[in-house]
């Protein structure tokens, strides 16, 4: 090649050769008799001609150096071919070995194994595994070597893509050393691999194949090629793992941010390397190369401008291969950048917004954590800052280990004066310090009501409780739970103190308890829900049942310390005083029987007297009305007719401090029962116990029987038809063997409360899948008077066999609904289909003749009675069947009743179906968290009214073996039965008929004076036409409301007045379980 150049120059050949060498090496040429400038100009012209003939550009003139082995020739294909040959050759060998192994195995011949190979594999796994310290150290070291290789590549980009080397420089030797380390890492991975073929084709191996062989080719050929060394930039993807090993990344948000940034950086650096290689190499098929000398950083600038869709045009791709790659990069990279860049920006912004600290030490605050969603947060805030609570100067700090979405963030922005959100976890001490957990008034933990794995959800919340109590032992904690047995574990949590106000709200227990009480007292679930939740102002309709119903939903339960004017009065006297003078309904008190023992008593007997500073449970329209009970003076306020003019007086020292916030008392051994049975006996409270042969559990709270095998209570349609069923409870279950359990023990406990006498125990018949019911049976097998019919609630024949037309209540429960994955309208499809099926079922009017049943004897020892020869004809339409349906989505209430009108009902509580007491939803229990915070006695009152006897003794018993045990009848257990119970009495029957009351005030006063019965609501027929005889609930009616003969009265009846509940009733006995009952199918 130099000979051609020399022939074009005049003068001796030796002089021309020296000149070419000096010019190529950029040295000053020796004088040949010509001016140096002219000589250089002539030489540049000739060398350009030679480069053009060889297809070389001016930037590739270094390939003409005399020390180049392959002068004027590009050998990049040798470097690339070496990499491909290593990869493809090894892949072929591995495939052949695998095929041979499979072939030998197919003929029953296995290759011999070597123990040494197994030991080497175990050693290699231990060395490179991140689970061991040695593996973590090696991962960091290998990452550093990969980073060093990429930095060397950046330095080499200043040189041509391909150039000759006269001698081996330091950069080449350093790179060779790095590649030897990479080769060692590849060997360790290959030895530790379970599948060597998979390791051979993984990304790390491909990077090694296309980078390591270049160094060895360069050593022997002295021809360097920049090649694919930029692939070492993919090592950036390992950065998040390395930062985790070093302990620099601890949160999920930081880990996600680092991964997103690593993907973006790796994509950008790798693509810039491709552009740099293609543009500086030119298109290989052209005779005259179109090489464009772009630097690596110019390529990065070009890609960033392209991805941001700015496109200045100052730098662009010239080669065909470069433009083709840019086209593919735009198609793929644009999606990556458009997806990841906004996420990175959002995380960075949100880290600044939600990673702060709460610093306002002068204002009370509460921390809310757990399941934070728009639905749960909006329901909580609606109850927490309800206008009826007055001015609530408390800041709510929500904490969740996630970044809120746009809807949730917009909600927080609307409540910015009262709400702050902090991203973090209460499981970490530093996050608790950020929200000043140790100074918080309380920490409220919300649960996911629709969790598929309820046990896991409860355990997660238990971990939050343990973490809070460990770091902040004096902080009050209120936690939501799903399963009843999860409550027992809280007793073992360190620093958990009921006396501090720590409490638990079991949603499944309360939901089933509300529905079970409605089986005994129809409409009670609606009445209690209205009392424990707060409603906003709505328009009333004159002269309509809706106006009476809406007046009642404004009433809520408040607690106040009763003034000294109540001291010494009996409960009946105090309740009449509140009703007549203060327009309040006193339904219960917190009674102190010892120095530290408190219990909640609803309608206690007359021998209980109001003590000084007794806490009363009052039904009032708002907190201001209830507060009058705390400063009422019998002297100053006796003659005040307008209670709005009643103000605190100064004539005596009355208690005016409200107990609406953090009124705490010790956890009680029993609810609704005197804590000391000896005291009750000495006061003459235990007077005449009914001489009935009953069996109670060891806690004295429930009727009990020996555990019964499921087959003994299983029915067929034929055996169910001959059962003398009347005024029984039919429970329709939708579930299968894989469904989550409802916890039917919580449903049966109120129905088998020991405060109920034997005639009051209603027979309960379950209808559903036997695979599901068998899983529930061991929780309810010790409750008497239970039957099970395998079948389907959608089968009309099964419903007819159970005489659903003559039942006291038909309850529909489902375990299939999952609102996270199902369309909202389809969440309650099973329950809705069951209602529609029942509504359109017609039943025969023929009276059913009672037939004897030769079966197992009653658990109380006497055979089941028979029905009379004739009874009242049952209804002819399914719409008259008393129905109570559980709904997941409140909007689906429109499908439950065929007469529902939702034109102006924005809330489920304002619908006709809810006013009737026909539907119930767990969403209605959201208000209990806020109510418990402001009034720590609310859970005790709810347990007294609803659960039938949920006590710490019961929780300890269930925590020990999750079963009720038989109790030995004693005076103590008999005393525990002596608690009031909720009932519903007809106004046109005894014992209320003899009172001859005109208005509700007359009924309230006379029932207390004559019968010791506390009235707190009415169950009245809807306005005509009402062919189905549906009723609606009136919560604590006004005193001047006229009564109707068909009204039924919600009331609390003391245990010693239980005989009043059967007076005047049609004496139709109920069936009892027999010993030789027909076996179920």
Q: Name residue 766's beta-bridge partners.
A: 731, 788
Contact indicator for 152, 174 with CB cutoff of 8 Å: yes
Residues 959, 757, 1053, 984: what is their CA dihedral angle, to the nearest 10 degrees?
100
Tell me the C-alpha to C-alpha distance, in Å, between residue 933 and each of 384, 581, 586, 633, 1015. Answer: 9, 29, 21, 29, 28
Residue-wise pLDDT for 224-243, tens only, equals: 888 888 899 998 888 888 88
Position 256 pLDDT exceeds 50: yes
Cis status, amide bond into 1025, omega within 30 of 0? yes
pLDDT-derived band of residue 41, with 50, 70 and 90 as boundaries?
low
Residue 814 phi/psi, 5-degree rounding, is: -135, 145
Tell me the C-alpha to C-alpha distance, in Å, between residue 766 and each of 378, 731, 733, 785, 790. Answer: 36, 5, 7, 11, 8
Q: Residue 586: its pLDDT value, please?
A: 94
Residue 1021 phi/psi, 5-degree rounding, is: -65, 145
Which residue, among 516, 474, 514, 511, has the nearest Cα to 494 in the 3D structure? 474
**What average pLDDT is seen over the chain?**
79
Show the DSSP H helices in 107-132 as ranges: 115-128
Tell me the C-alpha to C-alpha distance, in Å, between residue 614 and each of 659, 676, 1003. Answer: 11, 18, 26
Residue 613 phi/psi, 5-degree rounding, is: 60, 45
Query: Would you state the structure tokens that stand for residue 816, as one six-digit string?
Result: 């299939």
pLDDT-derived band of residue 684, with 50, 70 and 90 as boundaries?
very low
Rounded Cα distance between 740 and 664, Å, is 35
* Candidate ranges 299-313, 677-691, 705-719; pick with highest mean pLDDT: 705-719
| Residues whose CB falls within 8 Å of the CB of residue 853, separated by 6 or more in sequence, listed in order | 719, 722, 723, 724, 864, 1071, 1074, 1077
More confident residue, 673 or 773: 773
pLDDT-derived band of residue 876, with 50, 70 and 90 as boundaries?
low
Position 509 pLDDT exceeds 80: yes
Cβ neighbour number for residue 1002 with a 10 Å cutoff: 14
Rounded Cα distance between 171 and 439, Å, is 61
pLDDT-derived band of residue 518, with 50, 70 and 90 as boundaries?
very high
Q: Residue 170: its pLDDT value, please?
A: 84
3-state secondary structure labels for all residues of 34-80 = CCHHHHHHHHHHHHHHHHHHHCCCHHHHHHHCCCCCCCCCCCHHHHH
Maximum distance among all Cα pairs of the chain, rounded to whole angstroms: 145
Contact indicator for 815, 747 with CB cutoff of 8 Å: no
Residue-wise pLDDT for 946-957, tens only, equals: 876 666 666 666
| Residues whose CB falls within 8 Å of the CB of residue 923, separated by 6 or more in sequence, listed in order | 379, 449, 890, 908
Query: Would you state the structure tokens that stand for residue 426, as one six-digit string?
Result: 């209460």
Contact indicator for 746, 679 with CB cutoff of 8 Å: no
Which residue, among 426, 423, 420, has the nearest Cα to 394 in the 3D structure? 420
Tokens 């001609």 correspond to what residue?
Answer: 49
pTM greater than 0.85: no
More confident residue, 961 or 901: 961
DSSP 957-1020: HHHHHSS--BPPP-HHHHHHT---EEEEEETTSTTTGGG--SBHHHHHHHIIIII-PEEEEEEE
Rounded Cα distance between 223 and 764, Å, is 92
Rounded Cα distance between 26 and 539, Å, is 97
Tell me the C-alpha to C-alpha distance, in Å, between residue 781 and each of 230, 295, 785, 964. Answer: 71, 81, 10, 10
Cis status, amide bond into 294, omega within 30 of 0? no
How many residues comprise the chain?
1081
Distance from chain centroid for Cα 872: 49
Query: Would you state the structure tokens that stand for residue 109, as one six-digit string?
Result: 């011949």
Q: Quick one: which H or E segment has residue 338?
A: helix 320-354
Position 903 pLDDT exceeds 60: no
Residue 451 phi/psi, 5-degree rounding, is: -65, 135
More confident residue, 190 or 1065: 190
Contact indicator for 557, 941 with CB cutoff of 8 Å: yes
Residue 658 phi/psi, 5-degree rounding, is: -75, 145
Q: Where does 326-414 show beta strands of DSSP type E?
A: 364-370, 394-400
Position 55 pLDDT exceeds 90: no
Residue-wise pLDDT for 531-574, tens only, equals: 888 776 556 556 688 889 988 888 888 889 999 889 899 999 99
Rounded Cα distance between 160 and 67, Å, is 17
Rounded Cα distance between 969 and 860, Å, is 13
Q: Residue 865: its pLDDT value, please?
A: 36
Position 1024 pLDDT exceeds 90: no
Least confident window among 140-154, 214-228, 797-811: 214-228
Task: Label residues 23-35 b or e (16+ Cβ within 10 Å = b).
Answer: bbeeeebeebeee
Rounded Cα distance between 263 and 340, Å, is 8
Contact indicator for 281, 322 with CB cutoff of 8 Å: no
Average pLDDT over residues 276-298: 81
Distance from chain centroid for Cα 495: 26
Rounded Cα distance between 760 and 11, Å, is 131
Least confident window among 358-367, 482-491, 1030-1039: 482-491
Query: Would you state the structure tokens that stand for residue 672, as one six-digit string?
Result: 């609704």
Which residue, among 524, 474, 483, has the nearest Cα to 506 in the 3D structure? 483
Position 315 pLDDT exceeds 60: yes
pLDDT-derived band of residue 117, with 50, 70 and 90 as boundaries?
low
- 3-state SS class at 609: strand
Query: Would you state the structure tokens that stand for residue 128, as one six-digit string?
Result: 């490179």
* Candidate ranges 5-14, 692-701, 883-892; pick with highest mean pLDDT: 883-892
Q: Name residue 753's beta-bridge partners.
A: 702
Burial class (CB in 10 A: 0-12, 13-18, 19+), 71: middle
Rounded Cα distance between 620 and 214, Å, is 87
Instruction: Considering only CA atoms, give the Rg of the chain.
Output: 42
Position 660 pLDDT exceeds 80: no
Tell me the C-alpha to C-alpha distance, in Å, between residue 259 and each of 248, 273, 307, 989. Answer: 14, 21, 19, 75
Rounded Cα distance between 1072 and 784, Å, is 8
DSSP 383-406: HHT-GGG----EEEEEEESS---H
Distance from chain centroid for Cα 643: 46
Q: Name residue 813's beta-bridge partners.
A: 733
- DSSP tag of 1029: -
Directed axis angle between helix 524-532 and helix 927-934, to 10°? Answer: 50
Residue-wise pLDDT for 601-620, tens only, equals: 899 988 888 988 889 999 99
Q: Residue 543: its pLDDT value, please?
A: 67
Q: Name residue 617's beta-bridge partners.
A: 559, 588
DSSP 526-581: HHHHHHHS--------TTSHHHHHHHHHT-EEEEEEPPGGGTT-BHHHHHHHHHHH
Rounded Cα distance between 485 and 282, Å, is 74
Q: Residue 592: its pLDDT value, please?
A: 77
* Candidate ranges 677-691, 698-712, 928-942, 1033-1047; pick with highest mean pLDDT: 1033-1047
Cα 752–758–759 angle (5° rounding)? 115
Q: HSE on the CB side for 706, CA within 13 Å? A: 10
Contact indicator for 512, 764 with CB cutoff of 8 Å: no
């Amino acid at each position: 090649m130099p000979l051609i150049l020399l022939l074009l120059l005049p003068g001796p050949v030796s002089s021309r050769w020296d000149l070419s060498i000096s010019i190529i090496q950029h040295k000053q040429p020796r004088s040949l008799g010509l001016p140096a400038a002219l000589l250089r100009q002539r030489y540049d012209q000739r060398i350009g001609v030679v480069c053009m003939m060889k297809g070389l550009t001016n930037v590739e003139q270094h390939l003409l150096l005399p020390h180049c082995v392959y002068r004027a020739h590009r050998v990049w294909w040798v470097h690339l071919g070496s990499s491909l040959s290593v990869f493809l050759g090894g892949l072929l060998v591995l495939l052949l070995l695998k095929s041979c192994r499979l072939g030998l195995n197919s003929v029953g011949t296995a290759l011999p194994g070597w123990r040494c190979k197994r030991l080497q594999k175990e050693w290699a796994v231990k060395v490179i595994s991140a689970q061991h310290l040695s593996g973590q150290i090696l991962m960091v070291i290998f990452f550093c070597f990969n980073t060093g290789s990429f930095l060397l590549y950046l330095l080499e980009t200043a040189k041509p893509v391909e150039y000759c080397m006269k001698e081996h420089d330091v950069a080449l030797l350093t790179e060779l050393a790095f590649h030897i380390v990479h080769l060692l890492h590849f060997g360790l991975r290959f030895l530790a691999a379970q599948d060597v073929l998979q390791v051979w084709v993984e990304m790390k191996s491909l990077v090694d194949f296309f980078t390591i062989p270049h160094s060895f080719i360069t050593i022997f050929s002295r021809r360097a090629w920049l090649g694919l060394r930029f692939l070492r930039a993919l090592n950036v993807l390992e950065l998040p793992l390395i930062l985790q090993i070093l302990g620099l990344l601890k949160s999920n948000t930081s880990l996600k941010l680092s991964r997103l940034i690593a993907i973006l950086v790796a994509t950008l650096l790798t693509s810039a390397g491709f552009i740099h290689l293609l543009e500086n190499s030119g298109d290989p098929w052209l005779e005259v190369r179109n090489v464009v000398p772009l630097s690596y950083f110019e390529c990065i600038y070009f890609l960033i401008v392209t991805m941001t869709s700015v496109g200045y045009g100052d730098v662009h791709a010239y080669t065909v291969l470069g433009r083709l790659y840019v086209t593919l990069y735009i198609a793929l990279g644009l999606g990556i950048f458009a997806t990841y860049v906004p996420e990175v920006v959002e995380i960075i912004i949100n880290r600044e917004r939600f990673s702060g600290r709460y610093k306002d030490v002068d204002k009370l605050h509460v921390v809310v954590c757990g399941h934070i969603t728009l639905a749960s947060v909006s329901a909580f805030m609606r109850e927490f800052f309800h206008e009826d609570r007055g001015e609530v100067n408390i800041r709510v700090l929500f904490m969740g280990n996630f970044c809120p979405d746009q809807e949730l963030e917009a909600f927080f922005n609307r409540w910015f004066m009262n709400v702050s959100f902090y991203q973090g976890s209460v499981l970490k001490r530093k996050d608790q310090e950020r929200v000043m957990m140790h100074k918080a008034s309380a920490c409220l933990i919300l649960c996911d009501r629709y969790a598929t794995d309820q046990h896991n959800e409860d355990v997660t919340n238990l971990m939050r409780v343990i973490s809070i109590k460990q770091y902040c032992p004096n902080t009050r904690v209120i936690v939501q739970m799903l399963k009843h047995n999860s409550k027992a574990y809280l007793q073992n949590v360190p620093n958990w103190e009921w006396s501090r106000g720590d409490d638990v709200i079991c949603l499944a227990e309360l939901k089933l308890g509300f529905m079970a009480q409605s089986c005994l007292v129809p409409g009670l679930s609606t009445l209690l829900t209205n009392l424990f939740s707060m409603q906003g102002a709505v328009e009333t309709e004159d002269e309509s049942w809706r106006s009476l119903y809406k007046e009642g939903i404004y009433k809520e339960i408040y607690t106040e310390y009763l003034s000294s004017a109540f001291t010494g009065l009996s409960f009946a006297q105090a309740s009449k005083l509140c009703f007549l003078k203060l327009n309040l309904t006193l339904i219960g008190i917190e009674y102190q029987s010892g120095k530290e023992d408190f219990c909640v008593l609803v309608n206690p007997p007359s021998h209980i007297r109001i003590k000084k500073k007794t806490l009363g449970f009052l039904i009032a329209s708002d907190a201001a009305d209830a507060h009058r009970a705390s400063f009422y003076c019998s002297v100053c306020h006796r003659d005040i007719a307008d209670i709005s003019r009643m103000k605190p007086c100064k004539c005596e020292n009355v208690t005016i401090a409200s107990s609406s916030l953090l009124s705490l008392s010790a956890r009680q051994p029993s609810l609704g029962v005197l804590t000391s049975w000896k005291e009750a006996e000495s006061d003459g409270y235990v007077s005449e116990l009914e001489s009935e042969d009953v069996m109670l559990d060891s806690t004295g709270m429930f009727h009990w029987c020996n555990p019964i095998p499921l087959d003994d209570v299983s029915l067929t349609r034929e055996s169910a038809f001959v059962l003398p069923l009347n005024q029984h409870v039919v429970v329709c279950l939708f579930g299968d063997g894989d469904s989550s359990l409802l916890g039917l023990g919580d449903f049966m406990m109120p129905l088998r409360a020991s405060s109920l006498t034997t005639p009051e125990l209603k027979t309960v018949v379950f209808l559903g899948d036997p695979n599901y019911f068998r899983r529930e049976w061991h929780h309810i097998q010790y409750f008497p008077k239970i039957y099970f019919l395998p079948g389907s609630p959608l089968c009309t024949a099964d419903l007819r066999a159970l005489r659903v037309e003559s039942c006291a209540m038909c309850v529909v429960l489902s375990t299939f609904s999952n609102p996270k994955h199902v369309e909202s309208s389809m969440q309650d499809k099973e329950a809705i289909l069951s209602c529609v099926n029942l509504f359109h079922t017609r039943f025969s009017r023929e009276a059913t003749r009672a037939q004897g049943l030769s079966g197992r004897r009653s658990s109380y020892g006497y055979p089941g009675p028979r029905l009379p020869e004739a009874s009242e004809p049952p209804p002819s339409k399914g719409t008259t069947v008393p129905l109570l349906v559980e709904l997941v989505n409140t909007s689906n209430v429109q499908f439950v009743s065929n007469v529902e009108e939702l034109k102006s009902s924005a809330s489920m509580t304002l619908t006709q179906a809810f006013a009737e007491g026909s539907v119930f939803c767990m969403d209605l229990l959201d208000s209990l968290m806020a109510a418990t915070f402001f009034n720590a006695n609310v859970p005790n009152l709810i347990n007294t009214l609803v659960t039938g006897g949920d006590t710490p003794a019961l929780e300890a018993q269930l925590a020990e073996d999750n079963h009720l045990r038989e109790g030995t009848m004693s005076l103590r257990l008999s005393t525990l039965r002596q608690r009031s119970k909720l009932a519903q009495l007809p106004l046109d029957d005894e014992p209320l008929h003899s009172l001859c009351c005109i208005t509700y005030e007359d009924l309230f006063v006379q029932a207390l004076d004559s019968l010791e019965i506390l009235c707190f609501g009415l169950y009245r027929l809807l306005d005509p036409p009402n062919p189905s005889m549906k009723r609606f609930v009136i919560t604590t009616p006004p005193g001047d409301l006229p009564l109707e003969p068909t009204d039924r009265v919600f009331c609390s009846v003391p245990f010693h007045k239980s005989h009043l509940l059967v007076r005047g009733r049609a004496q139709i006995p109920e069936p009892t379980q027999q010993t030789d009952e027909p076996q179920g199918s």
